[in-house]
Structure 1
Amino acid sequence: MEPESEPKYVAVSPGCLTSGHSSLLSPLSPDALQFDEDDDLEVFSKGAALSDGNSFSPLMLASPSSMINQYKFEDEPDVKDIFVTVDEPESHVNAIETFITYRIATKTSRSQFDSCEFEVRRRYQDFLWLKSRLEDAHPTLIIPPLPEKFIVRGMVERFTEEFIETRRKALHKFLNRIADHPTLTFNEDFKIFLTAQAWELTSHKKQGPGLFSRMGQTIKAVASSVRGIKNRPDEFTELGEYVDAFSQKINVLDKISQRIYKEQKGYYEGLKEYGPVHTLWSASEEELVDSLKGMANCIDKCCKVTDTLNLKLSGELIPIIHEYVLYSETLSGVFKKRDQIQAEYDYKVEASINKKADNTDNLKEEIEKLEDKVECANNALKADWERWKQNMQSDLSATFTNMAENRISHYEECLALWESFLSSQTCDFQMDTKE
């Protein structure tokens, strides 16, 4: 197969890097997390404007040196044997579309890889392919979620560097969740995704399940839902109820967190206007000059502290909560697949009891295979569930703890600023009294 032609690069500045790791820690706006499953800005008209002042800033798009370099890989081979980095987004243009690709850099010591380092470029659709293949190969494992499709609504200008950076971070986390998973990390499609060149990956994509195969799976899923599950183990019923409750709570928490951020953003914008008013006022009040300027200075410093808090809220809390909103949807899908496998087994057993089948020997063989399939599915889900739950509790606990510390720090700094202002005013008042 001939390699596909290399797309034309636009709005690229590989050599323009931010210092340190600031781009990796840059905040995520909740506006960049407003998604809609029906729309996608991954592909849009070639004629769409990409060069407006808010889009594709080289300082935002170009990442610092690969995160791989932050790890002392040689010093801890027994701890982790594969490192994956997603960085350096680039805009591509061809005759049909404009799209974004990301550099995927991999460093590994695993013997099944032909080399210890790989570097490829992937677009969002390639990540969708990988997720789909993992779901097909491991139907009852909890596959990490991908960032959702971005809402278009005719507003191309929303395809900004902030959205690209938000997506880059989410894709980076997606691949590293897979790399850290004890089963998914050894999936052959994951290896192909990390190592194959673009034309090779295109060839592998064509080897996926055909249309009729996918239609058959859909028909089975619908049939299972119609028949229902009569013999679901109690433990999976309880897990399903837990997932439903978790989904409701995390969705509410996601909405409230974003609303709080918007309110705090409004408070910050108000502070930005509030301080300068005192400075302007001081020009016409000679006796209040020091007090007014002191107020303006205090408000200005509180404004900066509040902005820092908002950045931490949008960069540390909201993305984690939203990721687990997506995880709750994944969990619901996994439980449905488990039920689908059991429903197929129950149907065959019922058919055998009612002697509806002509060839009972073949039916018994099918039942034995389906029984093994159900047992494997149950064991895989139970093991992955425990792993996921531990990770979830650890992630959310750390996130809430950090946010509590950030809140305390914010209020302590603001309190210190206002106490300093009050102290200065008390001293001035005492001096005026003595005079």
Structure 2
Amino acid sequence: MITTQRSFSGSSPPRSPLSSSSQPFLSVSVTDPVKLGNGVQAYISYRVITKTNFPEYQGPEKIVIRRYNDFVWLRDRLFDKYKGIFIPPLPEKSALEKFRFSAEFIEMRRQALDVFVNRIASHPELQQSHDLRTFLQAEEETMERARFQETGIFKKKPADLMQIFKDVQSKVSDVVLGKEKPWKNRILNMKNSKRYILELEDHLAEA
């Protein structure tokens, strides 16, 4: 069942590491799916609980809130950095609005995300990744900044860069021909466009 308010008990209880405290362990649980926002801004967040005795981590237990885009960020980062190592796949997206927030779909996705992150956490090389530690420990604002850094101009595809170049050319032509809009309107339009693009990207990624 999907709720709109987070409770203290998740959909699946945190795992108890099988290893003794003297042996290194890293255990992760993805629990408690919650629907947040409305309309185009709606998405599902998850409670991610990490238990470990790795000295690189902040403590024996950490609880953070993550959304699907954060899992995508983690996989993309690992895929770029660990060539030759199989990176587990993420669960498929649902393009249909009526299925996207159904209880069955969300529970299936939660289970798949749990399997995904634990396969990474159990891999001898991937579990040492700085990006995995960021994913499992960073506060939401830090995680969001890391995620949006991936959408900067240096991450654009050649086709996207060409479109940016064409847009700049068009703006220059408007200035030369005296057709540019007043500065206040241009700044407002730029802010509105940027906000819309970010919201649309999140919406499509969560679908």
Which structure carries more strand by proportion? 2
Displacement of 1:141 in angstroms is 1.6
Q: In the alignment, which of 101, 111, 134 is matched to residue 45 of structure 2?
A: 101
- CA distance change for structure 1 residues 157 and 111 in 2, over 3 Å: closer, same or farther? closer
CA distance in structure 2 between the aligned counterparts of 1:183 and 1:145, rounded to whole angstroms: 17
Moved beyond 4 Å, runs of 4+: none
- CA distance change for structure 1 residues 158 and 99 in 2, over 3 Å: closer, same or farther? closer
Q: What is residue 196 of structure 1 aligned with on the other side?
A: 138
Confirm or deny: 8 A CA contact 2:58 2:137 kept in the other structure: no
Confirm or deny: 8 A CA contact 2:36 2:44 kept in the other structure: yes
What TM-score does the superposition give when structure 2 sets the normalisation length? 0.67
Matches within 5 A, 1:106-185: 106-152=50-96, 155-156=97-98, 159-185=101-127
Q: In the alignment, which of 7, 19, 22 is matched to residue 14 of structure 1?
A: 7
CA distance in structure 2 between the aligned counterparts of 1:139 and 1:213, rounded to whole angstroms: 18
CA distance in structure 2 between the aligned counterparts of 1:178 and 1:196, rounded to whole angstroms: 17
CA distance in structure 2 between the aligned counterparts of 1:145 and 1:193, rounded to whole angstroms: 16
Q: Which has the higher relative contact order, 1 or 2, with Cα contacts under 8 A spaced 6 or more apart?
A: 2
Q: What is residue 246 of structure 1 aligned with on the other side?
A: none
Q: What is residue 87 of structure 1 aligned with on the other side?
A: 31
| Stretches of structure 2 lacking an aligned partner (at least 5 in a row) | 159-207
Confirm or deny: 8 A CA contact 2:50 2:61 kept in the other structure: yes
Residue type of the alignment partner of 1:184:
L
CA distance in structure 2 between the aligned counterparts of 1:120 and 1:95, rounded to whole angstroms: 24
Percent identity of paired positions between Structure 1 and Structure 2: 35
Displacement of 1:151 in angstroms is 3.1
Q: What is the SS of the residue equivalent to 2:71?
A: helix
1:374-417 residue CA offsets vs partner (Å, 9 max, x unmatched): xxxxxxxxxxxxxxxxxxxxxxxxxxxxxxxxxxxxxxxxxxxx
What TM-score does the superposition give when structure 1 sets the normalisation length? 0.33
CA distance in structure 2 between the aligned counterparts of 1:130 and 1:158, rounded to whole angstroms: 22
CA distance in structure 2 between the aligned counterparts of 1:107 and 1:162, rounded to whole angstroms: 27
Q: Which is higher, the Rg of structure 1 or of structure 2? A: 1
Is it true that 1:187 corresponds to 2:157 in the alignment? no
- CA distance change for structure 1 residues 77 and 95 in 2, over 3 Å: closer, same or farther? farther
Which structure carries more helix by proportion? 1
- CA distance change for structure 1 residues 13 and 200 in 2, over 3 Å: closer, same or farther? closer
Confirm or deny: 8 A CA contact 1:10 1:93 kept in the other structure: no
How many residues align? The count is 158
Displacement of 1:86 in angstroms is 0.4
CA distance in structure 2 between the aligned counterparts of 1:161 and 1:77, rounded to whole angstroms: 40
CA RMSD of aligned residues (A): 2.7
